[in-house]
Structure 1
Amino acid sequence: MLELKDLNVYYDAIHAIKGISLEVNQGEIVTLIGANGAGKSTTLRTISGLLKPKSGTITFEGKDIAGSKAHEIVRNGISQVPEGRRIFAEMSVMENLDLGAFTRKDKDGIKADVKHVFELFPRLEERKNQIAGTLSGGEQQMLAMGRALMSRPRLLLLDEPSMGLAPLLIKEIFNIIVDINKAGTTVLLVEQNANMALSIANRAYVLETGRITLAGDAKELAASEEVRKAYLGG
């Protein structure tokens, strides 16, 4: 479904992504793990059109999307839940969800998707008229995910969904990611909490200073001594 080939990305003179290649098959949950500053968020931002690669290709469903504008990529079927939520704090929950569907014109479909988001996140329905900035961190994360789902993505990019959340909420968010995937959305997940990420993923890539150093089945990587020492606390 998604293939990155020899991707190189720079921030001015800094070579942030150094020739990485990875793939995500339809229906999978694939996770990118690595330390802070390894280039995980940069990879997602490049896929979703917020950064332009210097070289290399990004192919989504057979179409080269490297260098496409961000709104075109959303139209193509990729949606990102950014690191730090980035909800529209001054707007209501409902207005945030409506904005998630900005590329769509099918009113009935939008209505059905709002209903689906409320089934996934009942707390959002209870707070649908509340100003988004007054929600708790966990509720804001739910809103950011709900907003991304409103564009009906076939591929969902999740950037650090557990950041700053209490352990119980992290579990809830990860259960919902599994539900979203089971309902037919492919997921590429960037996550600091490697234990949780590997527990739900099919496959994983380990990123170190802009390079992929390990790749394979998520369960096998979770059992590997190298990964355990570096990312799983022993």
Structure 2
Amino acid sequence: MLMIRDLNVYYGVIHALKNVSLTVDQGEIVTLIGANGAGKTTLLRTISGLITPRSGEVLFEGRSLVKTPAKEIVRMGVSQVPEGRRVFATMTVEENLEMGAYLRKDKDGVQKDLEMVYSRFPRLQERRRQSAGTLSGGEQQMLALGRALMARPRLLLLDEPSMGLAPILVQEIFSIIQEINQAGTTILLVEQNAHMALSIANRAYVLETGQIKHSGPAAELAQSDEVKKAYLGG
């Protein structure tokens, strides 16, 4: 579904991504783990069309995303849940969700998906008239996920969904991610909580200073001494 080949991204003279190659197959959860500053968010922003690479390919279902406007990439079926949630704080929960469907013209379908999001996140339904800025961190993360789902993505890019959340909420968010995947959405997950990410992913890549250092089945990487030492506290 997604193929990245020899991707090189620069910020001025800083070489942020160095010959990065990875694939995501339809129906998978693939996770990308690595320390802060490794280039994980840069990779997601490049896939989303927010950053133009110096060289390399990003293909979604065989079509190049390089130099494709970000809104066209959303229209093609790729949505991103950004790091830090980025909800529209002064707008209501429902208005935030409607913003996720801004490219869609099928009113009935949008209404149906709104009901689907509310059934998946009952707390959002309870707070649908509240401004998003008044929600807790966990509720804002649910809203950011719900807003991305309103675009009906086939590929969902998740950037640090557990950041800043209490452990019990981290469990809840990861359960929801698995449910979204089981309902048919392919997921590329960037996550610093390597334990949780590897526990739900099919495959994993480890990014270090802009380069892929390890890749393989998530269960195998979770058992790798090198990965354990660097990312799993052992």
TM-score bracket for this pair, using the shorter chain length: over 0.9
CA distance, structure 2, for counterparts of residue 68 and residue 37 of structure 1: 25
Inter-partner Cα distance in structure 1 for 2:70 and 2:100: 13
Match of 1:203 in 2: 203
Equivalent residue for 2:224?
224
Deviation at residue 59 of structure 1 after TM alignment: 0.4
TM-superposed CA distance for 1:138, in Å, is: 0.3
SS, match of residue 74 in structure 2: helix
Q: Which runs of 5+ in 2 are unaligned?
A: none
In structure 2, give the amino acid aligned to 1:168: I
Residue identity matched to 2:210: G
Identical residues among aligned pairs (%): 71
Distance 2:155 2:68 in 1: 16
1:63-74 equivalence runs, <5 A:
63-74=63-74
Q: Quick one: which amino acid aligns to residue 19 of structure 1?
A: N
After the TM superposition, which segments of 4 or more aligned residues of structure 1 sit over 3 Å from their partners?
A: none
Name structure 1 gaps, 5 residues minimum. none
Deviations 1:55-103 (A, max 9, x none): 0000000111112111010001000000000010010000000000011
In the aligned structure 2, how far is the partner of 1:118 from the partner of 1:72? 27
Per-residue deviation, residues 130-152 of structure 1 (Å, max 9, x unmatched): 00000000000000000000000
Aligned residues: CA RMSD:
0.4
Shift in Å, 1:168: 0.2
What amino acid is aligned across from residue 178 of structure 1 in structure 2? Q
Cα distance in structure 1, aligned partners of 2:186 and 2:122: 23
Distance of 1:152 and 1:26 partners within structure 2: 15
Name the counterpart of 1:167.
167
Using the TM superposition, give the Cα deviation of residue 119 of structure 1 relative to its aligned residue in structure 2, in angstroms: 1.3
Amino acid at match of 1:44: L
Residue 150 (structure 1) aligns with:
150
Partner of 1:188: 188
Q: Quote the Cα distance in structure 2 between the aligned partners of 1:185 and 1:119.
A: 17
Q: Aligned with 1:192: secondary structure? A: coil
Equivalent residue runs for 1:20-169 within 5 Å: 20-169=20-169
CA distance in 1 between partners of 2:169 and 2:47 (Å): 28
Report the alpha carbon displacement of residue 29 of structure 1 after superposing the two structures with TM.
0.0
Q: Distance in 2 between matches of 1:114 and 1:140?
A: 16
TM-superposed deviation, 1:170: 0.2
- Helix, strand or coil for the counterpart of 2:27? coil
Cα distance, 1:24 vs. partner? 0.1
Cα distance between partner residues in 2 of 1:83 and 1:36: 12
Q: Secondary structure at the match of 1:213?
A: strand
Helix, strand or coil at the partner of 2:229 = helix
What's the TM-score once normalised by structure 1's chain length? Answer: 0.99
Q: Partner of 1:176: helix, strand, or coil?
A: helix
Deviations 1:152-210 (A, max 9, x none): 00000000000000000000000000000000000000000000000000000000000
Alignment length, in residue pairs? Answer: 234
- Greater mean deviation of Cα atoms: 212-221 or 115-124: 115-124
Corresponding residue SS for 1:117: helix
